[in-house]
Amino acid sequence: MIRLMTGRHSLNIHGSIVSIVSFLFWILSALISNSASAASATSPEAADAVEITYEIEVRIDPVAHSIEGRSVIMANSSEELTLVLGRRFGVLSAQVNGTSLGPAASMGKVRAWRVFNEKGLPRRIEVRWRGELTPLDTSLDHAQTLGRDEPASGEAGTFLPDSSGWYPYIAGKLASYRVSIELPPGQRAIVPGRLVEESESADGYRAHFEFLAPTGGIDLMAGPYSVETRTMRGTGGKPIQLRTYFHPQLADLALGYLDSVKGYIDLYESWIGEYPFTEFSVVSSPTPTGFGMPTLTYLGTEVLRLPFIRYTSLGHEVLHNWWGNGVYPDYAHGNWSEGLTTFMADYAYKERENPEAALDMRRGWLRDFAALSSGQDAPLSTFTSRTHGATQIVGYNKSAMVFLMLRDMLGRETFDRALQAFWQDQRFHIASWMDLQRAFEVASGKDLSIFFDQWLTRGGAPVIRIAEAGRAKPGGSAAAGHHRVKVTLEQAEPAYRLSVPVAVRTAGGEEFHTLDLEKTRQVFTLDVSAQPLQVTLDPDLRLFRRLMPDEAPPILRQVMVDRTAATILLPESGDVHSTAGTLAEKLQHRTPTLASGTETPPAVPTLVIGLEEQVDAWLARHRLPARPDVVRGKGSAQAWTVSRPDGVTLAVISARDIASLAALTRPLPHYGRQSYVIFNGSKVIGRGAWPTRAPMVKLD
């Protein structure tokens, strides 16, 4: 079974902007696609033989919020097909080989027809439809834009997501397409693919696009764009058209974006292989959204103005043209593309910056993972796409770290060679984690089944500790000045097979060793060159593991992502209460589970919100640590975490007055990685994480 929506990737801007992909639609579509077509679509061969093509003509009027279209679908396959169109549109005619398709069945937001095979002939399906689009609402935030799955249109912009059913499509099938779009003068439109031709006259704008590789769906964007174009030469001199479709107020950013896109295409062509398309466009959106699709990325105007986007998210979205939109993940068996893209974009940029920046990113990932409650740390093989914070922590971060461990094990050269071969073999195919494993096995000549099996099918993470460490007598034949350390490592049952980095500090400096741990308790003897003083476990955090309490001091995100977290609002009613409630809801992306402020705090992670005096009184009453010195008396509002004596995390938000509390609603959700944040109004004036300590044993 394949995913029916496009290879659209939601962009991560601060880690807290969360996408909501319509699973309802996915499930519905999976139900109505018959099992025969679903099975054939999972084989890579199915992606090669183009069985379905769409020839779509649409006319859109953003002022009248209307769409009118005609589509001819050619199907070369002989099985029964399901034809789907959004229910909000009126069908003017629907025919297969000249015969009316009759009434459709209604299922949620879509209508569906079963299209039977007639004597095995290729089928020509023609549909004419017309309807209203939802007026564009620019006040929506990212999550709302994504969650709506509605075709929205207005003078400032039009976005017709594939999942809205804005054009008739065959469920469960990849298809190639040609799309002609007509708009009033001044408007420009784009869909993923090659811009074949365009024209503008007093009557309006027309553009014709084609996408000839089989793909999963079509998103359409339009707006009052000014377009900048630049041609670059890719591998072998192939011309690649780079464009910005920007609202006029962003015109001065266009050249910078074009430069950056060229840089990323050069980088990934030399690293992986030829860019698979003929263009790449950066398209601005009037709503604060972020998507990646084949050949383009669609970003909110405010997002595009953020200076770091060009250096982070843009590269991630360009890379998705290889991983995700060039090779399609086999969603039924887990989406590997977000982890690999995070590793080769976001993480790679940190590595290029300096080792400290890369370490910071790994530490952030492991801390976020430590903040998950059990049950949220699902196996990687179950990740399909990001729906909330917890799925990102697994599907993006854990996955990226698995690729890091694999590269540490195989070496950079072998690792890159495997990816290049994977790209050569799987371009425009559906590929699974198994296919990736095979590519790495062929390149390295190693059996990697245990590695992939434990990291993909097991939830959670290994917990490793140094059970004992001590000096040992060197062997009888050892030369003078020779020293030995005995280290006993322990891990929980069932044992992972791990290469555990260990640092031994000696009188002569730091020495690094890798211990091959495969049992729950194992003793290692290490030769070192000077008097050993101290042994530290995985000091650079290169291993995906559950951090020890000292390594993972509490951060604000714990009460944000943990579904069991409780919230205490001080006081129990009134204006402050409702402002605090709104803040809690923003932080947790759900209706908070309220607990009483007068009773003993519950035994689950707890968020406490109130004004200064109330918060201080509450902490004192429950014999909890008072406001920490680092935040005391500073700014108009403060948030900090406390690890309670029973190990449970408490996050406290305290404001001087109701206005200072209300000012946190927008910025605070972006600071989940912090242990404390100090605000003046909505401006952050101080923040940080409580200090950490790697698991270490001093030798006496």
Closest CB to Zn ion among 216 and 553? Answer: 216
State the binding string over 461-500 for Zn ion (x if CB under 5 A, else -): ----------------------------------------
Nearest 5°: phi and psi at 374? -65, 140
Least distance in angstroms from the C-beta of 238 to Zn ion: 25
Tell me which stretch binds Zn ion (CB under 5 A): 94-102, 258-266, 331-339, 526-534: 331-339
- Piece of the chain touching Zn ion by CB under 5 A; list 1-9, 349-357, 639-647, 676-684: 1-9
Q: How many helices (H) and strands (E) does the chain have?
A: 19, 38
Of 1, 20, 27, nearest in space to 385 by CA: 20
Minimum distance, C-beta of residue 173 to Zn ion, in the bound complex (Å) = 24
Identity of the residue, 58 or 318, whose beta carbon is nearer to Zn ion in the bound complex: 318
Q: Smallest gap, in angstroms, from Cβ of residue 327 to Zn ion?
A: 14
3-state secondary structure of 291: strand
Of the candidates 453, 550, 455, 541, the one whose C-alpha atom is nearest the C-alpha of residue 501 is 541
Stretch touching Zn ion by CB under 5 A, among 6-14, 152-160, 251-259, 514-522: 6-14
Q: State in angstroms the smallest separation of the CB of 316 from Zn ion.
A: 6
Contact 142, 290 (CB under 8 A): yes
Report in angstroms how near the CB of residue 320 gets to Zn ion at its nearest: 6
Task: Determine if 545 is a binding residue for Zn ion (CB under 5 A).
Answer: no
Question: Closer CB to Zn ion, residue 13 or residue 655?
Answer: 13
Closer residue to Zn ion (CB): 9 or 398: 9
Query: One symbol per residue from 251 to 280: x for binding Zn ion (CB under 5 A), - otherwise; what is it?
Result: ------------------------------
Cα pseudo-dihedral 306, 192, 215, 145, rounded to 10 = 50
In the complex, the smallest distance separating the C-beta of residue 264 from Zn ion, rounded to whole angstroms, is 14
Cβ nearer to Zn ion, comparing 9 with 111: 9
Strand order in the sheet with 239-246: 9-10, 290-293, 296-300, 279-285, 239-246, 226-233
The minimum distance between CB 17 and Zn ion, in angstroms, equals 13
From CA 349, how far away is CA 358, in angstroms rounded?
8
Token pair of 540 as six digits: 């650079």
Tokens 């060009």 found at: 310
Number of residues engaging Zn ion in binding (CB under 5 A)? 2
Query: 213: which DSSP letter?
Result: E
Nearer residue to Zn ion within complex by CB, 11 or 461: 11
Per this entry, what is the length of the chain? 700
Judged by beta carbon, residue 187 or residue 337, the one nearer Zn ion is 337
Closer Cβ to Zn ion, 9 or 505, answer by number: 9
Nearer to Zn ion, 9 or 545 (CB): 9
Which tokens belong to 32? 């109505």
Residue 384 CB, nearest distance to Zn ion (Å)?
A: 13
Q: Does residue 571 have a cis peptide bond before it, meaning omega lies within 30 degrees of 0?
A: yes
Upstream peptide bond of 554 is cis (omega within 30 degrees of 0): no
Binding mask 634-653 for Zn ion (x = CB under 5 A): --------------------
312 touches 349 (CB < 8 A):
yes
Residues 183 to 222: which contact Zn ion by CB under 5 A?
none
Shortest reach from residue 95's CB to Zn ion, in Å: 40
For the CB of residue 336, give the shortest distance to Zn ion in the complex, in Å. 12
CA distance 593 to 585: 10
Q: What mask of x and - would describe binding to Zn ion in positions 280 to 319, judged by CB under 5 A?
A: ----------------------------------------
For 214-281, the DSSP string reads EES---EEEES-EEEEEEEE-GGG-EEEEEEEE-GGGGGGHHHHHHHHHHHHHHHHHHT---SSSEEE
- For Zn ion, the closer of residues 214 and 339 by Cβ is 339
Task: Restricting to residues 332-351, name those near Zn ion by CB under 5 A.
Answer: 338
Q: H helices within 519-594, ranges in order?
A: 557-561, 574-588
SS (H, E, C) 371-396: CCCCCCCCCHHHCCCCCCHHHHHHHH
Q: Nearest to Zn ion by Cβ — which residue?
A: 9
Nearer to Zn ion, 9 or 123 (CB): 9
Specify the stretch interacting with Zn ion by CB under 5 A; choose among 5-13, 102-110, 120-128, 209-217: 5-13
| Stretch 7-46: interaction string toward Zn ion, x if CB under 5 A | --x-------------------------------------
Per CB under 5 A, which region of 234-242, 330-338, 376-384, 684-692 contacts Zn ion?
A: 330-338
Please report, as a single letter, which amino acid is at residue 122. Answer: P
Measured from the CB atom, the residue of 7 and 553 that comes closer to Zn ion is 7
Shortest reach from residue 215's CB to Zn ion, in Å? 17
Cβ atoms 567, 607 nearer than 8 A: yes
By C-alpha distance, which of 560, 542, 553 is closest to 688? 553
Exposed e or buried b per residue across 615-648, where buried means at least 16 C-beta atoms within 10 angstroms of its C-beta = beebbeeeeeeebeeebeeebbbbbbbbbbeeeb
Task: Name the minimum Å distance from CB 8 to Zn ion.
Answer: 10
Please report how close the Cβ of residue 299 comes to Zn ion at its closest, in angstroms: 13
Nearer to Zn ion by C-beta: 242 or 319?
319
Residues that bind Zn ion (CB under 5 A): 9, 338
